[in-house]
Chain A
Amino acid sequence: MGFDWNLISPEIAVLVTGFVILIADLFLKRGRNAIFATIGFVGIMVTIALVFRNFDILRTVTEGASIGFQNMVINDRISLYFKVIFCMGTLLTLFVSVTYVQRELKGAGEYYTLLFIATFGMMVMASSMDLFTVFLGLEVMSIPLYVLAGMYRRRARAREASLKYFLMGAFASGFLLFGIALIFGAFGSTNMIDICKRFGYIDTQGMILAGAGTIFALIGFAFKIGVAPFHMWVPDVYEGAAVPATAFMSAGPKAAAFAVLFRMVSVFWPALEQNLGTILWILAALTMTWGNILAISQTNIKRMLAYSSIAHAGYVMIALTVGGPEGLASGAFYLLVYTIVNIGAFSIVTLFVGKGEKQEKISDFAGFGHKYPFAGISLTIFMFALAGIPATAGFIGKYKIFIAALNSGFIWLPIIGIANSLISVWYYIGVVVTMYMKPANAEARSIDLSPTLLVAILVALIGTIGLGLFPDLWVGLADEAGRHLGAAYILGSLLN
């Protein structure tokens, strides 16, 4: 059986980019940051091109998916949509990182290598049809993230963050692996296509095993995403890590875990049926509410954004609870939006915290709105987008989730979501109030906007406003991905 390399061409491109940077780091003098970033930029552009090429290839495939490597890897619109999200996250992070890494991390080449290996892991997760490849992808993604969290070596909090993240992550991986073992026990396979076929043939005991396995796997992912009540590590890690690394961690890895969850929930639904729905419902409500309420009292911008990211995971959990094509479409679109907007917000934070991250309190930003008009307006737009004000991408994302939820007969979940949006307005606006309406702090250090950071901000701004006013293309692609949720299984049944 020959290999269809097209299936994994984006993964290969990302991995090669990572290794090229690693090797270049050996031969170049330390601190040749711009070269690494350029290699990274070229690599990510090639990857995006390959992703779109795969979209094109899919148009010729009637089943809407192609599968290979012993049914372990799939190329369908879901995996491709999520790969776009990862590429977007990595691209924006690259631009955010350049000057920061030069200044604070003394131009570390391995920083970029780790970024790309983590991205490779995410892509593997999104295109896995086998729980073992999922696990491998997860580890390949997580281990670079643990290192990234601790890269800011001079600071004790970074070391703490790295260790905490590692311990929690290892714990979560343990849960996931245990869940996979139970599932294997029930079905004799870890391949989701096989599992899907065998669901009708297992006995009650097997069903219990499958149900327990699903729950354990869910808990494992809940840790990784930072879903309440498994979110405790999130604020500490986000606060301790270097800002660009935080930006990276807050977007792509979550999307990757959700990509797997969307697939898994649709496969393992029969194991728990309504119970799984109830569990997801409670997790969604709890995550939104807990994240938002704790975000209100934060004074550190990074901690505030950490809790806000928990809350946003809660909104995606609504989409996961709804499930099905519509749930997947709204969740995937929301994650795309969230990646762009959140990294946009972090790019301004990178700018505002200044040298040595000395200004990380929200109150340090007093008067910045008038002092730095462009950055001020940009952060305002990102905050409003996170809060979900119309004409920004954040609004369309929420609107789509509410449509999916109401259409599936959920009433209270969207109402809780709406109440949470209102709570979130309070703290997002708090940042704007500080920037524009509080008297300027005389001791504030001056900040300088580097061209690369400007590019990151501009790209994120265009994304935020563009997806807010003309989201048709990306909403359409997400809908299409949702409609192809079952494509892999139809294909699988044709194969054997």
Chain B
Amino acid sequence: MNWPILTWIVFLPVFGALAILFINGNKHNAIRWTALVATLIDFVLAIILFVKFDGSNTAMQFSREPLIWIHSLGITYSLGVDGISLLLVVLTPFLCAIAIASTWSAVTEKVKGFMISMLFIETGMLGVFLATDLFLFYVFWEVMLVPMYFMIGIWGGPRKIYAAVKFVLFTMFGSLFMLLAIVKLYLMTGPDAFERTTDLATILNLQITPDLQIWLFLAFALAFAIKVPLFPFHTWLPDAHVEAPTAGSIILAGVLLKMGTYGFLRFCLPLFPDATVYFVPLISILALIGIIYGALVAMVQKDVKSLVAFSSVAHLGFVMLGMFALTIQGVTGSILQMVNHGITTGALFLLVGMIYERRHTRMIADFGGIAHVMPVFATVFLIVTLASIGLPGTNGFVGEFLILLGTFKVNPVYAVIGTFGIVLAAVYMLWMVQRVFYGECDKDENKKLLDMNGREKLIAIPLIIMIFWLGIFPGTFINKIEPSVKKLVNEIQMKKKKPIAPHEIVPETNTDEIENIENGEN
């Protein structure tokens, strides 16, 4: 088909933002509706993409002939979707729509700027998931920082400036090394400037020596590990999540963190298979530390929002653990868990935001027994909590089960330690729910709380539907992603069995010494 659906998906939010630019800044509702409608249309396009996606095909789909973007630097504009990115592409506009809908009463100042930032973030994230050119990927990856930085810094909580600057500096720290690695890969594609390219398909065919793979893997992994965040690079996350406005937290936790895990799957694993195998123990152990550490720290939080933030560290640990099991179940579970975490944690931040709007506090100690005054809210919160813990029948169960199964096959010890993480998750989540919602409703402020209104229920319904859909009929989604995962895992396993001996590889020619004048002859 000739219609560039991927380009439309990526840039539709920008058109929405341009439309908003021409709306009078005081017409808040018009701005909100424009943003929401743009995102919903984007979501519909993503669903069309999902339905039309051929699950049995493992190649990049819907991609067109790469367009030359910057000829002199070998940069192409090429987009593509496969089983690894498909679900994330659908998830992004879904959560963005929910985040935008959640701001109706939460963001009342500078609405125009907020919505423009939001839509630019959406384009950035979709671009990251769809780009099949390393330079293009990097551009989306970095450009997205800017609106997110404004979102935290302008609409955030009391320590917003600290959180915003920390977020930007941490992310840039990692990604700049990735940039050098991209330049290195680009230089390896050809001896002559006209032959070089940053197109992923070409770079995937490169023969990279194991030694070099390790350095390049580290450069990429640093960028992604900070984004995930993998222990010990997680320290920006609680600050950013807690200080961001509710919609920002939903986006941060729901989609932005997945850019890191997605980066590992899309670039680190297929480009550097030897290094991947080499680093399995390190990454798995860091992931396990993240699982246990995140859970323990979450347990002692006094603020519900930072509790949820630390639970993200633990959940993303699971995603990384499953991915680096390098088994089909592990990687499939890891992709599913990315989506699950997006839905459940996004929902948790949404619900925490709702209660914050009513009480202007998020301290667990300020609540207690509010299930009596807000029964619907309490029920929704409980469902989401159980999904987050991984109760069978909810989405969390499927993902965690597959991850643990995949990990158990290769290393039972990792799986056992990971299981402890699930137990701890139950402890901190349920304990928090108990302290907030049950018991005596003894504080006067809490007695007057209003239950969810119509708009809030309407936002919560799709999330709950997705929780059960993914929990009960995961096949809808697994069928689409499994072939791509199989191909990826097989490629790595093949290289693992047959490591390339260093001497078999022709050393890449390094033609350019410091040129003297003679070289200008052409």
Q: Do A and B come from one complex?
A: yes
Point out the residues of chain A lying under 8 angstroms from B177, CB to CB: 418
Q: Which of A399, A414, A415, A471 lies at the interface centre, i.e. has the most chain B CB atoms within 10 A of its CB? A: A399
**Interface with A: B314-322, B485-493, B508-516, which one?**
B508-516
Cβ distance A434 to chain B, nearest Cβ, rounded Å:
10
CA distance A429 to B149 in the complex (A): 10
Q: Determine which of A390, A403, A485 lies in contact with B138 in the assembled complex, contact meaning CB atoms within 8 Å.
A: A390
Q: Determine which of A402, A406, A425, A485 lies in contact with B519 in the assembled complex, contact meaning CB atoms within 8 Å.
A: A485
Q: Is B173 an interface residue (CB 8 A)?
A: yes
Once the chains bind, are A433 and B153 in contact (CB under 8 Å)? Answer: yes
Digit string of A258-292 for contact with B (CB within 8 Å is 1, else 0)?
00000000110110000001000000000000000
Point out the residues of chain B lying under 8 angstroms from A324, CB to CB: 512, 514-516, 519
Point out the residues of chain B lying under 8 angstroms from A266, CB to CB: 516-517
Point out the residues of chain B lying under 8 angstroms from A389, CB to CB: 142-143, 145-146
Question: Considering only CB atoms and an 8 Å cut-off, how many residues of chain A contact the other chain?
Answer: 51
Q: Is A4 an interface residue (CB 8 A)?
A: no
Once the chains bind, are A406 and B183 in contact (CB under 8 Å)? Answer: yes
Interface of A is mostly: helix
**Interface with B: A82-90, A134-142, A310-318, A475-483, which one?**
A475-483
Q: Given A429-B168, A436-B153, A483-B522, A489 and B176 touching (CB < 8 A)?
A: no
Q: Is B70 an interface residue (CB 8 A)?
A: yes
Cβ distance B335 to chain A, nearest Cβ, rounded Å:
27
Which residue of chain B has the shortest Cβ distance to A426 in the bound complex? B169
Q: Determine which of A433, A472, A490 lies in contact with B71 in the assembled complex, contact meaning CB atoms within 8 Å.
A: A472
Once the chains bind, are B521 and A486 in contact (CB under 8 Å)? Answer: yes
Once the chains bind, are A402 and B180 in contact (CB under 8 Å)? Answer: yes
List A389-419 residues whose CB lies under 8 Å from chain B.
389-391, 395-396, 399-400, 402-403, 406-409, 414-415, 418
Q: Is A176 an interface residue (CB 8 A)?
A: no
Once the chains bind, are B180 and A406 in contact (CB under 8 Å)? Answer: yes
**Interface with A: B157-165, B202-210, B244-252, B419-427, which one?**
B157-165
Once the chains bind, are B169 and A422 in contact (CB under 8 Å)? Answer: yes
Once the chains bind, are B517 and A489 in contact (CB under 8 Å)? Answer: yes
Point out the residues of chain A lying under 8 angstroms from B187, CB to CB: 403, 406-407
Q: Is B139 an interface residue (CB 8 A)?
A: yes
Point out the residues of chain A lying under 8 angstroms from B521, CB to CB: 486, 490
Q: Given A403-B187, A479-B72, A485-B519, A425 and B172 touching (CB < 8 A)?
A: yes
Once the chains bind, are B161 and A486 in contact (CB under 8 Å)? Answer: no
Q: Determine which of B153, B169, B173, B520 lies in contact with A487 in the assembled complex, contact meaning CB atoms within 8 Å.
A: B520
Q: Is A323 an interface residue (CB 8 A)?
A: yes
Point out the residues of chain B lying under 8 angstroms from A426, CB to CB: 165, 169
CA distance A269 to B154 in the complex (A): 52
Once the chains bind, are A436 and B154 in contact (CB under 8 Å)? Answer: yes
Point out the residues of chain B lying under 8 angstroms from A402, CB to CB: 179-180, 183
Once the chains bind, are A418 and B176 in contact (CB under 8 Å)? Answer: yes
Point out the residues of chain A lying under 8 angstroms from B142, CB to CB: 389-390, 395
Q: Determine which of B164, B180, B193 lies in contact with A418 in the assembled complex, contact meaning CB atoms within 8 Å.
A: B180
Once the chains bind, are A323 and B179 in contact (CB under 8 Å)? Answer: no
Q: Is B447 an interface residue (CB 8 A)?
A: no
Cβ distance A265 to chain B, nearest Cβ, rounded Å:
10
Apart from A270-B516, A485-B519, 19 more pairs, CB < 8 Å: A322-B514, A324-B515, A325-B520, A370-B110, A389-B143, A390-B138, A390-B142, A400-B73, A403-B73, A403-B183, A407-B512, A408-B512, A425-B169, A429-B168, A433-B153, A436-B153, A476-B72, A484-B520, A486-B518
